[in-house]
Amino acid sequence: MPIVQLDHVRKVYDTKVAVEDLSFTVEPGTMFGLLGPNGSGKTSSIRMMIGITVPDSGSVSIFGKPFSRKALARIGYLPEERGLYKKMKVLDQLIFLGRLHYITASAAEQKARAWCEKLQISEALHKKTEDLSKGMQQKIQFIASLLHDPDLIIMDEPFSGLDPVNAALLMDTLLDLRHEGKAILFSTHRMDQVEKLCDHIALIDRGRLVLSGSMREIKSMYPRNRIHITFEGDDAFLHHPTVESLKRFPGQAEITLRPSPTLAGDAQAFLLCALQSARVTHFEVTEPTLEEIFIEKVKESSPENIALTAEIEEPVGSCLDA
Residues that bind another protein (CB under 8 A): 50-53, 69, 72-73, 75, 77, 79, 81-88, 96-97, 99-101, 141, 144
Residue with Cβ nearer another protein (144 or 255)? 144
Residue with Cβ nearer another protein (134 or 179)? 134
Q: 153, 184 in Cβ contact below 8 A?
A: yes
Q: Kindly state the smallest distance separating residue 292's Cβ from another protein, in Å.
A: 33
**Torsion angle, alpha carbons of 96, 179, 204, 5, to 10:** -80
Q: Kindly state the smallest distance separating residue 130's Cβ from another protein, in Å.
A: 10
Q: Kindly state the smallest distance separating residue 146's Cβ from another protein, in Å.
A: 13
Say how many CA atoms lie within 13 Å of 133 toward its Cβ.
8
Q: Amino acid identity of 280?
A: V
Per DSSP, 288 falls in state P
Q: Kindly state the smallest distance separating residue 141's Cβ from another protein, in Å.
A: 8
Residue with Cβ nearer another protein (82 or 206)? 82
Residue with Cβ nearer another protein (82 or 139)? 82
Gap between the Cα atoms of 95 and 105, Å rounded: 6
Instruction: Name the packing angle between helices 164-179 and 134-144 (round to 10°).
Output: 10
The CA angle 164-170-174, to the nearest 5 degrees, is: 140
Residue with Cβ nearer another protein (108 or 215)? 108
Q: Kindly state the smallest distance separating residue 77's Cβ from another protein, in Å.
A: 4
